[in-house]
A and B are shown apart, each in its own frame.
Chain A
């Protein structure tokens, strides 16, 4: 990846991510998250991972965030200055975020992935849908089935909850 392109994209990504935290209106905040996820997908594209980039856009930007926006619109959430000012909550959130950042930096350092190493040759069959599918249905079959079971349970509970409200 070209350094200039990387710096430009990274800046845009960080700006969008800051927008999520700093925007006062919930809808702007949610949209900033969409933009951030979109730039993340562009990073995957530049790393030759077209499949992951497409999935990133479909799942996060296309499905999950639409649901977020939908909820914000339906509940017609406005700015809540009173809650924003709650100092204890802000402190807690800030501390957790900083800890997370530090942990990420620590583990990245420890794992020994350096820039020179990370830009190595792409292994054969990388990002091929067939290979990912094969891994998913052989090595990780148990986890895969467990996840689908979890989703099924979630769907059924959603239906049950909705029916209860109607009755």
Chain B
């Protein structure tokens, strides 16, 4: 019993540390990425005792320290409890959503099989969607509890946007569930382990390319970043729903942003890019057609972990590049795109998938 709790605690801690450190790293990557695109050097001013060489480490230490030591301003005439609660409510579902994402297959330590996943849920897909739908509260509360017109506008825009794009996201996930026939995220990843015709990895993206594009767009919209950053819209709303936040609470909103990028990347890898699967890698080593290369179990597990991390980091990087290359949509364009573009296409995709699955039962993965 005690050991079970210890294992669960270690896994939970791993997930929390993974999300938070990824968020910290992404804060630096975002600045360096923007500098790269804008032809600057960028983010090289954080020096510790005159040593500015280690950019990443310095920024990761300097940023939180700066926010922690700043004054925490609570504006007058606000609901103090809700004002303080908003950043916490914003950050919580993002971190919790990560708990259902499998980051590796099972490992056996001292005769005990351990799932490399913080919580094993039969309904992992629904759990992730539930947490995504809770993300709206932080935005709404932050906007409402700030006693500021810009914040309120940002909050209303944010909630309308998130509700609209949740539909496209949910429907594209439904298609994935239909393809793999399970709601368990670990099972979805396992189902992507085979090769199509011996050359192409059996990843979701090759079965459902349309769903992948829809999910990724909806995911970027859920993170409320350019080209969907209307709720923040610096040139119109100062900083949108978190205009009135400073110090540690601002840092929490800031971190939510990056944690959301990480979670969307993890979900895209899980649903469409085989999660921790490595092409040609089986339980006991690589298999290329008739030739195979045996590997010890530990190496296989490490390769799988690395594969998951590489995929997640790639999609994080991709999202940051999208943010710095796209212009912002207008609000009516955003709504029209969500309701008249994404929704019909995802519904059509759903119908086509259903027909194909019923007509060709053997196609089912």
A25 contacts which chain B residues (CB < 8 A)?
Answer: 79
User: Is A100 engaged at the interface, CB distance under 8 Å to the other chain?
Assistant: no
A61 contacts which chain B residues (CB < 8 A)?
Answer: 130, 133-134
User: Is A8 engaged at the interface, CB distance under 8 Å to the other chain?
Assistant: no
Q: Which of B44-52, B121-129, B263-271, B296-304 contacts A (4 or more CB under 8 A)?
A: B121-129
* Bound-state Cα–Cα, A51 to B127, Å: 9
Q: Which of B82, B122, B134 contacts A127 (CB 8 A)?
A: B122
User: Is B117 engaged at the interface, CB distance under 8 Å to the other chain?
Assistant: no
Within the complex, the shortest CB–CB distance from B169 to chain A, in Å, comes to: 12
User: Is A94 engaged at the interface, CB distance under 8 Å to the other chain?
Assistant: no
B159 contacts which chain A residues (CB < 8 A)?
Answer: 66, 69-70
Is A57 a contact of B133 with CB atoms below 8 Å?
yes
Is A54 a contact of B136 with CB atoms below 8 Å?
no
Is A129 a contact of B156 with CB atoms below 8 Å?
no
Per-residue CB contact flags for chain A residues 70-90 toward chain B (1 = under 8 Å, else 0) read 100110000000000000000
Q: Which of A28, A34, A58, A129 contacts B137 (CB 8 A)?
A: A34
* Bound-state Cα–Cα, A73 to B149, Å: 12
* Bound-state Cα–Cα, A82 to B140, Å: 27
Is B156 a contact of A28 with CB atoms below 8 Å?
no
Interface majority SS on B: helix, strand, loop or mixed?
helix
Interface majority SS on A: helix, strand, loop or mixed?
helix
B351 contacts which chain A residues (CB < 8 A)?
Answer: none
* Bound-state Cα–Cα, A25 to B141, Å: 13
Within the complex, the shortest CB–CB distance from A25 to chain B, in Å, comes to: 7
* Bound-state Cα–Cα, A28 to B82, Å: 8
Contacts beyond the supplied A61-B134, A73-B140: 17 A-B pairs with Cβ under 8 Å? A28-B81, A31-B82, A31-B141, A50-B121, A51-B122, A54-B123, A55-B126, A57-B131, A57-B134, A58-B129, A62-B136, A63-B163, A66-B136, A66-B137, A70-B140, A70-B159, A73-B152
6 tightest A-B CB contacts, nearest first = A62-B133, A54-B126, A57-B130, A58-B130, A54-B123, A50-B123
Q: List 21 A-B contacts (CB under 8 A).
A: A27-B79, A31-B141, A34-B137, A50-B123, A50-B127, A51-B123, A54-B123, A54-B126, A57-B134, A58-B126, A58-B133, A61-B133, A62-B133, A66-B136, A66-B137, A66-B159, A66-B163, A70-B156, A70-B159, A73-B156, A128-B122
